[in-house]
Amino acid sequence: MDIIFDNWRSRSPHYGETHEAITHSVRQFIQQEAAPNVDLWEEQKSVPREFNRKAGEAGILGLGFPEEYGGTSEGIDIFHNLIQAEELARAGAGGIHSALMTHFVALPPILLLGTEEMKRRIAPPVLRGEKIMALAITEPSGGSDVANLKTRAEKRGNKYIVNGSKMFISNGIRADYHTVAVRTGGPGMRGISLLLIEKDMPGFTQTKLDKMGWHCADTAALYFDDVEVPAENLIGPENGGFVKILENFNSERLVAAQTCAAQSRICLEEAVTWALQRETFGKRLVEHQVIRSKLADMRRHIDATQAYIDLCAWRYQNGAAHPADFALLKVQATRAFELVAREAAQVLGGASYIKGTLTERLYREVRVLAIGGGSEEILLDLAGRQLGYC
């Protein structure tokens, strides 16, 4: 039988020996540190901070980040990051990636726009897993409509006074540092800045949210009540944060698409294993033509999505990317994941509705990927406008 999880890379021009090395190191880490514990962590609805520290020691958190701050960047390309996302998904719980990797979108603004003092204070402990970061953009009044966010930061002397709230923030409880989008100027995209807000600042509180999936990773509502933030915690120029937020979305959507493809492969793998063992009407389930057709169609959707991911990653790496690419890619990936998870559930039958199968858990995680980082509706409209269909 074709090895679903590994065979696709061996036939791709984008993956070589160094990518396989990342595959094996991350896979070993997940098998040793996550796989034996993920069911317990899902029940407890938390991942211990020690897990982040172990990931830092294993070099997982620093992949692609500058060496001078504790990362690993020499010889690393975007496809290494995709492989890492693929292998983190092997735990069969999207919360593992969320618990470990929110700094992937929260730290880059600091490394690009922050002061040298800020970079050296924040980046090394984050990449070692000693500190945790979160990105706080979404608000109760709106998610993808970033240009109209309402959380306000008013400059008073050498401080910003922050008031407002954020919603659905991954790692919002555990995070020590939050990269927060705030309004420092007038309405629209030109009035938005980024601030580094730290967990213990007076007036800053968090509330944990219960969710459909990603149980082992916390998601929170954040509240800012006259929070005093030092002016030196401004990330980049005042009123200049919007463009960096949009750039962050591209990499976030690319990795989200790879996660969808990986989790789709898990569902297909479980469905194939079940179909080879389960017997109905005197023969194995896989010997029924309708089941074989389902499995083949699931594979078709996965392979088409992976090819699109690799194309967008190549464009990203070679400066040929377009925002519409990542918007359409994420829609393609999440819809493929939803279809594959549904069809896997059909093949497993009643077993897919009982805790204990990976398909049951992953089917609950479809929605967070379809909505987070830009909903399908918003992204399709964005792509249409970017492509000039208006």
> Catalytic positions, please?
252
CB 151 within 8 A of CB 221: no
C-alpha distances out from residue 138 to 170, 190, 194, 324, 335, Å: 10, 17, 13, 21, 23
Q: How far apart are CA 236 and CA 315, in angstroms?
A: 27
Locate 199 and state its tokens: 């967990």
Task: State how far the Cα of 289 lies from the Cα of 68, in Å rounded to an integer.
Answer: 57
Nearest to 225 by CA among 162, 152, 158: 162
What element of type H or E holds 135?
Answer: strand 133-136
Q: Tell which residue, 133, 115, 139, has the closest CA to residue 176.
A: 133
Q: How far apart are CA 240 and CA 172, in angstroms?
A: 24
Phi and psi at residue 363, to the nearest 5°: -60, -35
Residue 189's SS3 state is: helix
Sign of CA dihedral 151, 246, 53, 32: positive
Cα gap 231→36, rounded to integer Å = 45
Tokens of 192: 């938005």
Handedness of CA 138, 142, 148, 153 (dihedral sign): negative
DSSP string for residues in 114-167: S-HHHHHHHHHHHHTTSS-EEEE--BTTBSS-GGG---EEEEETTEEEEEEEEE
Cβ partners under 8 Å of residue 315, min gap 6: 321, 322, 325
CA distance between the termini of the chain = 48
